[in-house]
Amino acid sequence: MASRTLTRADLSEAVYRQVGLSRSESGELVEQVIGEICDAIVRGETVKLSSFATFQVRDKNERIGRNPKTGEEVPILPRRVMTFKASNVLKQRILDGHGAGGKKS
Amino acid sequence: MIKSELVQTIANRNPHLFQRDVDRIVNVVLEEISQALIQGDRVELRGFGAFSVKNRPARTGRNPRTGETVEVEEKWVPFFKAGKELRERLNAEKN
């Protein structure tokens, strides 16, 4: 199975075909959906999209890291990171799609 | 924010659209990403991040409680890597 990469263009094409808006409006709406999700994450909100995934923001404290090449200790500053947790529905669909087990036997 | 709130926000901003159309748009976007992952494709959305599927080979695991060995089947798990812009925005607002 040759792997390909989908982009915004593919998403707006899908909206164009399935919802029946104009091409330019489909693109604009896809942009708004992505933009709105990003903005909520940046505000620190948890974004829960049922049957798809949850995006969460976590605060990381400062810790001492080490440059693996030189062995030198460097402080890793406190920062905010995002976590992605796929829903069980999506995880199972991906397993099924790859012909994997995944079922309790 | 949950999906219905996302739909509501976008519907408010586009008063010429019916809410049920906005609902469909959000679902088409999420379903399109899901379908890509189910087929083993990647989805790359600049400014947001990239979705992909990672392979976890079969391994011999151990039940931590009983110490018993178990065969764990090969599996495929969805993965998301936040884009540079999103990572920068997450930290810019704090400082």
Any idea where the domains of chain B sit in the sequence?
3-94
pLDDT in the model for residue A31: 97
pLDDT in the model for residue A3: 80
Q: Do B26 and A33 touch (CB under 8 A)?
A: yes
Q: Look at residue A103 and tell me whether its pLDDT is greater than 50.
A: no
Q: What does the buried/exposed string (b/e) look like for A7-31 if buried means 16 or more CB atoms within 10 Å of the residue's CB?
A: ebebbbbbbbeebebeeebbbebbe
What number is the average pLDDT over the span B58-76?
A: 92
> What proportion of chain B, given as a percentage, has pLDDT over 90?
92
Q: Do A48 and B3 touch (CB under 8 A)?
A: yes
The CATH homologous superfamily for domain A45-100 is IHF-like DNA-binding proteins (4.10.520.10)
ipTM over 0.85: yes
Q: Look at residue B4 and tell me whether its pLDDT is greater than 80.
A: yes
Q: Look at residue B27 and tell me whether its pLDDT is greater than 80.
A: yes
Q: Look at residue A102 and tell me whether its pLDDT is greater than 50.
A: no
Q: Look at residue A5 and tell me whether its pLDDT is greater than 90.
A: yes
Interface-testing mutation among B8, B14, B19, B25, with chain A (most A C-beta atoms within 10 A): B25
The mean predicted confidence, pLDDT, of chain B is: 94
The mean predicted confidence, pLDDT, of chain A is: 91
The CATH homologous superfamily for domain B3-94 is IHF-like DNA-binding proteins (4.10.520.10)
State the Cα–Cα distance between residues A84 and A87, nearest whole angstrom.
10
A8 touches chain B (CB under 8 A): yes
Interface-testing mutation among B37, B77, B95, with chain A (most A C-beta atoms within 10 A): B37
Q: What is the pLDDT of residues A62-77, one digit of tens each?
A: 999 999 999 899 999 9
State the Cα–Cα distance between residues B55 and B40, nearest whole angstrom.
10
Residues pairing with A86 in the sheet: A53
Range(s) for CATH 4.10.520.10 in chain A? Answer: 45-100
Say which of B2, B28, B75 has its CB closest to residue A18: B28
pLDDT in the model for residue A2: 65
Distance from the Cα of B62 to chain A's closest Cα (Å) equals 17
Contact of A36 with A49, CB cutoff 8 Å:
no
Q: Look at residue A105 and tell me whether its pLDDT is greater than 50.
A: no
- Would you place residue A1 in the very low, low, confident or very high pLDDT band (cuts 50, 70, 90)? low
Q: What is the pLDDT of residues A11-46, one digit of tens each?
A: 999 999 999 899 999 999 999 999 999 999 999 999
What number is the average pLDDT over the span B12-36?
A: 97
